[in-house]
Amino acid sequence: METSIIDLISQAFKSHQKSLLSVRREPLSTRKKYLQKLRDWIHENRSLIHLAAYNDFQKPAVEVDGTEIFHVLSEIKLAVSSLETWAQPRKVDAPITMLGTRSYLQPEARGICLIISPWNYPFSLAIGPLVSAIAAGNSVILKPSELTPHVSALIARMIQEIFPDGRVSVFEGGAEVSQHLLKLPFDHIFFTGSPSIGKQVMKAAAENLSSVTLELGGKSPTIVTRSANIKEAAQRIAVAKFVNNGQTCVAPDYILVDEHAMPLFIEELKVQVKKHFASGGESFETSTSYCRIVNQKHFSRLTELLQDALYHGARIEFGGKVDQASRLIHPVILSHVPEQSRIMNEEIFGPILPVIPYTDLDSVITIINSKPKALALYIFTQHEKERKKIVQETSSGAVCINDCAIHFLHHNLPFGGVNNSGLGNSHGYYGFLAFSHDKPVMKQKRGFTTIQPFYPPYTALSRKLMDWFLKLF
């Protein structure tokens, strides 16, 4: 990495440090002003966002609108309309031992925050957290992904046109830029990416005792029971899995289907994949609704996963052309996938979908609980008893019943993982909290207080009072 980049990062961080107090003093109206400017810029430059995403991995414009721009605009609208409520002090009742005191929780900005965003949804997963950070009153250094350079360059331009120096900065570049940024004493780090890189971020944050929010991934299982509406389940799974070419952290990673429903489910899944991604006589090669793999490295990783699965005995139920030059991988549905294959032990993050039959729900729960905790778990069932059993006996960042992935767009729900799939939450009020510290403020009254009888020196009377007092608990 060039020394000049290191110098620029150091200078930017010092600029953020110098402006920190003035940022803390900003009224809520200033935060709203920045958010409204951000909203206006997005509306005015929507076509440029479309073009950048297409240039990076042929992402369809409507898909950019639905999965990236809508999410950010929704976050902005909620933050602007709710900021006074979110930021006001929250009264806390006093216990009997603190009679006479008055207490409240005051949300305060964490300070200088680092946001490291991924490539799969390069606009929304960079700007969504930024909205929360600005709403909470922080200054931000943003590091977008180098794997989507067109979107990253557009983000840098957008930030430069909206925010002054010392408020929000953007640094493009590869892993070496992230590594240098992570050496700096940020007040909070918000990272979205893989569990393996998340561990590195957490280690780096520990050196400065920076708080972290980690939005990671993992293998999100989907269960299709015998009672499920098979056509509906196949449609919703097909869309959630193959939108963005499967490069979605909450995409269904593998499907566990009741053995009696499996033949019908696979046939219906084929129909739905064709209907939504290659309809009207289009092929997947010519489809304007089917994205591409982001780069050759990930293309090679996916083809190796597929070959390994086939080597271990997996069967292709649905597949087609694979073209390295255009980074096209035809949607693939697999059956007879052995547990020891790599595809059942690594996050797929691409358009390959293993479908595995099961005989009873206990075996399903055993399979799910044998793997690291998932970011999401999906259940297709019409039976309340089945739903309750799965929710109670498994652990995941979220559960979605009779649909997949749509909980990400519900800004009144917290979004986040657990253990291997993440740490902390984001979106809406929960994003505001992620970038805030709830500071307790307590005021004692004048004169006699309930604590004074227990001040030293410890007399016979004070001992008797303590004996009586402890019996209350």
CA angle 16, 7, 149 (to 5 degrees): 85
Residues known to be catalytic? 215, 249
Contact 175, 201 (CB under 8 A): no
**Model pLDDT for residues 85-130, shown as the tens digit of each residue:** 999 999 999 998 899 999 999 999 999 999 999 999 999 999 999 9
Give the three-class secondary structure for 448.
coil
Cα distance between residue 191 and residue 214, in whole Å: 5
How much is the pLDDT for 3? 60
Q: 217 and 349 in contact (C-beta within 8 Å)?
A: yes
Is-cis flag, bond preceding 457, omega within 30? yes
Instruction: Give pLDDT, residue 280.
Output: 80
- The confidence score (pLDDT) of residue 279 equals 86
> In whole angstroms, what is the distance from residue 146 CA to residue 163 CA?
22
Answer positive or negative: Cα dihedral of 116, 117, 119, 120.
positive
Burial class from Cβ neighbours inside 10 Å (0-12, 13-18, 19+) for residue 114 reads: buried
- How far is the C-alpha of 150 from the C-alpha of 295, rounded, in Å? 13
What is the structure's pLDDT at 294?
96
For the chain, what's the residue count?
473
Residue tagged 């006479």 (tokens)? 100
Which SS3 state, helix, strand or coil, does residue 332 take? strand
The list of the chain residues with pLDDT below 70 reads 1-3
pLDDT in tens, 122-158: 999 999 999 999 999 999 999 999 999 999 999 999 9
Buried b (16+ CB within 10 A) or exposed e, 275-293: ebbbeeeeebeebeebbbb
